[in-house]
Structure 1
Amino acid sequence: MHETSLAPAPAAEPTRAFSAEPATTPAAQDAGPASGPERPSLWRSRNFLLLWTGQTVGELGAQISAVAVPLLAATVLQATVFQISLLTFLAWLPYLLFSLPAGVIADRVDQRRLMIWCDLGRMALMGSLPVVAVVSDLRLWHLYTAVGLTGVLTVLFNVAYKSKLPRMVEAHQLVDGNAKLSMSKDFAELIGPTLSGVLIGLIGATRTFLGNGLAFLISAVTLFLIKEPAGSGPVEEKDADRAPLRVQMTEGLAFIREQPILRKILACTTTSNFFVMAAGSIEVTFMVRELHAPSWMVGLVFSVSAIGGLTVGALTQRISRRVGTARIIWVSMAVPGPLYLLMPLAQPGWGVLLYGLGLAAFSANAVLYNVAATSYQQSITPTRLLGRVNASFLWICYGAIPLGALTGGLLASLLGLRTALLICVLGTWSAALFVYFSPLRSLRDMPETAPGNRG
């Protein structure tokens, strides 16, 4: 599942949500695997470093708002548990409504410019919250509006971003690039929530959104500084060759249906996202109202959770080689599951950190799973379908997220926060069954470039 979002990020990218970033450049496909020291390093790629820097700052801003949004609603606006879960629902609903047309847009326009405008729009929306609070009373409907519109821009940004990244790196750099971006997310998870808790304590929840707006501005500047070589834009199609819009919107789905392993990955990720966001929509409320944790401790819990992903992110390539690049997909989903139970078992006081340990286990799973699954998808998707396949994955995987958020709020309202969390973590663990009972179980490694990938 980053992907910057106002809501807590979902399963398997930090994430906690699956990231579909398919295909390589035609040049990378033709080159075949390089060997040893002849392979260029991403540390020497100016464009990738700019993208990486901007995304790291953007993820940091997203983690600040992931804590600040529900805390603002719970403490300043006195929202109910269900009203707070609606914020997560509104943040992710645009994936269900706009992902497929966003894929067509991303395949037709300059993706870098689209990303810049999305960043500037999100900066304005986040900056409006403290401005409104100063000029007049901030109301819950204004927070809902800002979250929902930011979600629309985030859909456009993420589809364009996922379509742009594979064109910036060579085929053999995909795993390394994905691992570095995953580490950025976990670094943001390590620093962002604690920073958010401190800022909320010092300047208040509303003013904290100035930092989120600044992060979007920095991301826009780094994208502006990227220098693109000729021919790096979207694949052009003549008007006469274009299929009707309805057909274009479903081409990505048709491709996924033909790939048995992708179908299993899609089912696993969608199930995980549903239950993780059900938990994510109530986790801050659980810590504040059930465990009586102050804002700084809530931030500390999320920072502790990032340690698992950050540590594993640094070792991703080594772990994948030892376990197997295909086998790691189902192993990473199945093995950490029992540790998720620490979350509903958390207690007041320092026992709140049990929640962080459970999240750390999930964060480690998310990094390994995302890097392996995303790299496989990138290797088999035709370049011309980049945006549409990305959008199809986002439509299904992220489309389940608002439904999960509503489910979390309803379960908590009916059964209580702790019981709802127990159901959510068991549901998250159950997602491993899809990839365990799949062709992946008979494979150790994936090919670097699958034979079915054609431009």
Structure 2
Amino acid sequence: MNHPESADGGRPSPPGQLPRPRTAKSFWGLLTQRNFRLLLIGETSSKLGTSVSSVLLPLIAVSTLHASPFMVGLLTAAPWVPWLLIGLPAGAWVDRLRCRPVMLVCNLVSAALFASVPVAWYLGALSIGQLLLVALLTGAASVFFSTAYSAYLPSLVTKAELMEGNAKLQIGDQTTRVAGPGLGGLVAQALGSAPGLLLDVLSFVVSSLCLLRIKASERRPALRPRRMRQEISDGLRFVAGDRFVRPVTVFGAALNLALAAYQAVQVVFLVRTVGAEPGLVGLLIACGGLGGVLGGLAAGRLARRFGTARALLAIQLATTPFGLLIPLAAPGPRLLLFVLGSTVVLAGVVACNVIIVSFRQTYCPPDMLGRVTATTLVLNYSTIPLGAVLGGAVNTALGPRTTMWIVVGSVIVTNCSLLWSPLRHLRDFPTTAPHPEQEVAAPGRSPGPRTEDQRTG
């Protein structure tokens, strides 16, 4: 892993403080670096294919296999199930292996699985069982890929560049979320739903070729005699016991719970309460994706101006109240309330995600980053199915508009988990955590020197 550098020529950052995001030497910043550019192109291509397949798989189930709504629901949930089953062991395995080979294997496995669908369709042997198996296994590959991908970025850029790198990757991700569903519909109309999955296969091939062309040395994992169970336990204890990692993890899990409920009710709200036509619904939802792009663009600048920890709090306090505009939406000009509210809220979510991921990559011990990443993602993603079920249940009992009020109110309440945490006393996040094996302080506290930035409010 690269040593932390400051923007003014390579001097190390002060101990106990997350390096300020470096001001790019040119407008393009990290895009001028070949290795990062290849990672960005490959990852964005892969995310675009995944966004397209998220539309095509349900279309195949409904239009080709005439599946029931229950089976379509299972198909939608299947990619998330592996996080609950293998997320924690995946983190331990990633810490034992080099990240790039793991990512390459995941890409090739996913490409083969998605390619099996149009082949089976052409042979007349496609079934809903195969679709469920493909969704489940590609979800398992995504668990390993996502964990390795987050642990791989610090080997390509310096600590001071992590904020910019995560921001650009988030911008690419959000752009695919805007373009992917529309592209998926066009592909299904032009080629058919099953053959259209070949586009996703191609995206994984492009991602693999980009990874193969990256020329950067990667940390050799240390050989550890510990058992898998002990390594998983170390990751859990680190996340639960660290006074900085714990609150941002709780915040992410609570926010995902509320956002999943929001996503479960937003289409029903727009169609049945607001009276929007299907084409307009897609446009309104896409506007939220544009907000995510804006959030990625703004994250680094806000962190430089206010400090990383203060920016995280300020972004949430400034953006989440705009969610109160969403339930006020109605036909006509009041549709702009939905656009404004959803755009600003998602911009805040993405900007905070950039800051949190950069903090985790900088702060965690390098040989634990896979486990810590997997643990936080498992905890964050575990609330998504629960939030979707709760959103649907409340919607059935109280109606779409009332449910929307409850959901956006709960998004605002999640801020309290950060305001009650030690983060409110920081300007910048700390940069390094003591390794658990070397920890001598009281449980639940991260030992180490406190800086003036950490003491100021």
- Worse-superposed segment, 165-174 or 30-39: 30-39
Is 1:233 paired with 2:229? Answer: no
Normalising by the residue count of structure 1, what TM-score does the alignment of the two structures yield? 0.81
Partner of 2:129: 141
- Worse-superposed segment, 170-179 or 421-430: 421-430
Amino acid at match of 1:330: L
Deviations 1:25-44 (A, max 9, x none): 25448962498889995334
On the 8 A contact 1:111/1:233 being kept in 2, the answer is no
Partner of 1:249: 232
CA distance in 2, matches of 1:154, 1:264: 25
Amino acid at match of 1:65: S
Normalising by the residue count of structure 2, what TM-score does the alignment of the two structures yield? 0.81
Partner of 2:12: 32
CA distance in 1, matches of 2:34, 2:56: 33
On the 8 A contact 1:327/1:444 being kept in 2, the answer is yes
Secondary structure at 1:335's aligned position in 2? Answer: helix
CA distance in 2, matches of 1:451, 1:250: 17
Structure with greater Cα Rg? 2
- Worse-superposed segment, 434-443 or 399-408: 399-408
Secondary structure at 1:336's aligned position in 2? Answer: helix
In the TM superposition, what is the alpha-carbon distance from 1:195 to its structure 2 partner? 2.1
CA distance in 2, matches of 1:373, 1:413: 35
Deviations 1:105-146 (A, max 9, x none): 111223211111111222222233333344337544333222
In the TM superposition, what is the alpha-carbon distance from 1:174 to its structure 2 partner? 1.0
1:14-413 equivalences in 2 (<5 Å): 25=1, 27-28=3-4, 32-33=12-13, 42-70=30-58, 72-73=60-61, 83-136=71-124, 139-229=127-217, 232-237=218-223, 241-281=224-264, 283=266, 296-344=279-327, 346=329, 355-412=338-395
Go from structure 1 to structure 2 and tell me whether the alpha carbon gap of 1:131 and 1:393 turns closer, same or farther (over 3 Å shift): same
On the 8 A contact 1:67/1:196 being kept in 2, the answer is yes
Partner of 1:439: 422
In the TM superposition, what is the alpha-carbon distance from 1:351 to its structure 2 partner? 7.3
On the 8 A contact 1:60/1:215 being kept in 2, the answer is yes
Secondary structure at 1:260's aligned position in 2? Answer: coil
In the TM superposition, what is the alpha-carbon distance from 1:50 to its structure 2 partner? 0.8
CA distance in 1, matches of 2:380, 2:243: 16
Partner of 2:408: 425
CA distance in 1, matches of 2:198, 2:382: 29
Go from structure 1 to structure 2 and tell me whether the alpha carbon gap of 1:308 and 1:41 turns closer, same or farther (over 3 Å shift): closer
CA distance in 2, matches of 1:359, 1:155: 28
| Bigger relative contact order (CA 8 A; separation at least 6) | 1
On the 8 A contact 2:155/2:216 being kept in 1, the answer is no
Q: Which runs of 5+ in 1 are unaligned?
A: 1-24
Identical residues among aligned pairs (%): 34
CA distance in 1, matches of 2:118, 2:402: 36
- Worse-superposed segment, 104-113 or 197-206: 197-206
On the 8 A contact 1:89/1:401 being kept in 2, the answer is no
Deviations 1:397-439 (A, max 9, x none): 1222233334344445555555544443333332211112222
Deviations 1:130-169 (A, max 9, x none): 3334433754433322221111110011111111111221
In the TM superposition, what is the alpha-carbon distance from 1:453 to its structure 2 partner? 7.1
Work out the number of aligned pairs and report it.
Answer: 425
Partner of 1:13: none
Deviations 1:368-408 (A, max 9, x none): 10122222222221111111111111121122223333434
Alpha-carbon RMSD: 3.4
On the 8 A contact 1:67/1:299 being kept in 2, the answer is no
In the TM superposition, what is the alpha-carbon distance from 1:177 to its structure 2 partner? 0.9
On the 8 A contact 1:341/1:358 being kept in 2, the answer is yes
Amino acid at match of 2:48: L
Go from structure 1 to structure 2 and tell me whether the alpha carbon gap of 1:216 and 1:343 turns closer, same or farther (over 3 Å shift): farther
Partner of 1:4: none
